[in-house]
Structure 1
Amino acid sequence: MTPSDEILDIVDENDEVIGQAPRGEATARGLRHRCVFIEVRDAEGRVFVHRRTATKLVFPSHYDMFVGGVVGAGESYDGAALREAEEELGVSGLPEPEPLFRFLYTSAEHTWWSAVYQVRCELPVVPQAEEVAWHTFLDDRELEARLDEWLWVPDGLDAYRRLKEFRAL
């Protein structure tokens, strides 16, 4: 099965399930589904930053300050957050990511309910080659300095700005 074949729950504006569709169809038709964004920090408090592979279905070769992805059909946000974080970082035994908030991401082409999490990873990471072309850990100042320099995934950039606002409250 390819990532495009993965079955997703399709949700309405209230995040209620109204159907299911393969991921490729959901993307092509702009069907609203669910995603998780996990901010990963190392023992020194630096943020895991990576560039997505050129083969990604959505936002190929873009930079991201979150790991994460789609929530599978019948899967919980919490379950997806742990699964996605461990898969993309190439670790097992990661602590449960802490849920922070949810928001509806919408653009001209995409829409999904988004759950934002944070987790500390003190394990050595071996990022999944199918997902991550390059990675590093950046402190907050270094990350901010690169926001205008690198091509970031738009949904991650939106989540990052919302996370900064959330923490400022």
Structure 2
Amino acid sequence: MSAADEILDVVDEQDRVVGRAPRGRVYAEGLRHRCVFVRARDAEGRVFVHRRTAEKLVFPSLYDMFVGGVVGAGESYDDAALREAEEELGVSGLPRPRHLFTFLYDGGGGRTWWSAVYEVRCELPVRPQVEEVAWHAFLTEEELERRLGEWEWVPDGLAAYERLVAREA
């Protein structure tokens, strides 16, 4: 099954399930759905940062400071966060990511999704999915801050990061 065929829950402005549709249709029609964002830190507290592959359906070739993705139909945010983190980092046996907050991302033009933000410590050697990750590194907070103005970031991840930084201030 291709990524475009994956079935997602379609949700309303209160995050209640109102239907189901294939991911390709959800994206094409701008249907509201659910996503998870997981900030992964290594043993030294550095943040996993990566550049998405050019083949991604949404925001190809842009940088992201989160791993994550869509929540499948009938899947919980918590389960999706663990699944996505392990898949994208290429590890198994991660501790369950800790939920930090949830917000409704609105990128305009029908791009809106409920976004649950998590954090996890990954002390395992990472082997990121080549289908998802074109480049990766663990950066200190200072290095990440310097790159914000230099690299082109996924807009939903940047929105989540800005909210996260504001909450931690």
Q: TM-score, normalising length from structure 2?
A: 0.99
Q: CA deviation at 1:82?
A: 0.1
- What are structure 1's unaligned runs of at least 5 residues? none
Corresponding position: 1:144 with 2:142: no
Query: Following superposition of structure 1 onto structure 2, how do residues 1-169 of structure 1 map, counting pairs within 5 Å?
Result: 1-109=1-109, 110-168=111-169
Q: CA deviation at 1:35?
A: 0.1
The amino acid across from 1:65 in the alignment is: M
- What are structure 2's unaligned runs of at least 5 residues? none
Q: CA deviation at 1:56?
A: 0.1
Moved over 3 A (4+): none
Q: Deviations over 1:69-96 (max 9, x none)?
A: 0000000000000000000000000000
Q: CA deviation at 1:108?
A: 1.7
Q: Deviations over 1:109-168 (max 9, x none)?
A: 310000000000000000000000000000000000000100000000000000011112
Whole-angstrom distance in 2 between the partners of 1:59 and 1:111: 14
Whole-angstrom distance in 1 between the partners of 2:108 and 2:122: 34
Q: CA deviation at 1:24?
A: 0.5
The amino acid across from 2:150 in the alignment is: E
Q: Percent identity?
A: 74
Whole-angstrom distance in 2 between the partners of 1:148 and 1:90: 28
The amino acid across from 2:67 in the alignment is: V
Residue 55 of structure 1: SS of its match in structure 2?
coil
Whole-angstrom distance in 2 between the partners of 1:107 and 1:44: 33
Whole-angstrom distance in 1 between the partners of 2:142 and 2:28: 37
Whole-angstrom distance in 2 between the partners of 1:86 and 1:167: 25
The amino acid across from 2:36 in the alignment is: V
Q: TM-score, normalising length from structure 1?
A: 0.99
Aligned length, in residue pairs = 168
Whole-angstrom distance in 1 between the partners of 2:30 and 2:17: 15
